[in-house]
């Protein structure tokens, strides 16, 4: 069955936008992380869609790369957030202003 690629791309774009807005608007660090995951997955979707379109495996391989990197990044990021939460009793990103110029 040939679903037009544009459907996948639109969905991917919508997911990406939701994720971006989430990163920009939300204050809770965990929510921001989830939004970033959303962005990454949106990109994965687009990659797979293109791979299907070109009938080559490059996009799917790249999607695997992306997933691995996302996983690693989540590990590190969550560790940082948890530590920060333990110190400051707050998960709000707006309170993390120590490194201001």
**Residue 76 within binding range of other proteins, rule CB under 8 A:** no
Q: Give the whole-angstrom CA distance, residue 18 versus residue 39.
A: 8
Applying CB under 8 A, the span of 42-50, 59-67, 79-87, 90-98 interacting with other proteins comes to 90-98
Contacts for 64-72: CB closer than 8 Å, 24+ residues apart: 66/40, 67/40, 70/37, 70/40, 70/41
Q: How far is the CB of 80 from other proteins (least distance, A)?
A: 12
4-25 residues labelled b (16+ CB within 10 A) or e (exposed): eeeebbeebeebbeebeebbee
Task: Give the one residue of 23, 31, 74, 84 binding other proteins; rule: CB under 8 A.
Answer: 23
Applying CB under 8 A, the span of 5-13, 23-31, 40-48, 79-87 interacting with other proteins comes to 23-31
Q: How far is the CB of 1 from other proteins (least distance, A)?
A: 32
Residues at the interface with other proteins (CB under 8 A)? 20, 23-25, 27, 32, 93-94, 96-101
């Amino acid at each position: 069955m040939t679903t037009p690629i544009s459907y996948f791309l639109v969905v991917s774009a919508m997911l990406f936008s939701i994720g971006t807005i989430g990163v920009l608007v939300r204050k809770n660090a965990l929510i921001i992380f989830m939004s970033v995951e959303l962005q990454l997955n949106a990109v994965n979707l687009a990659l797979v869609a293109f791979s299907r379109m070109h009938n080559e495996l490059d996009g799917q391989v790249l999607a695997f790369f992306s997933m691995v990197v996302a996983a690693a990044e989540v590990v590190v990021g969550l560790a940082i957030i948890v530590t920060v939460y333990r110190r400051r009793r707050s998960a709000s990103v707006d309170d993390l202003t120590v490194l201001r110029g």
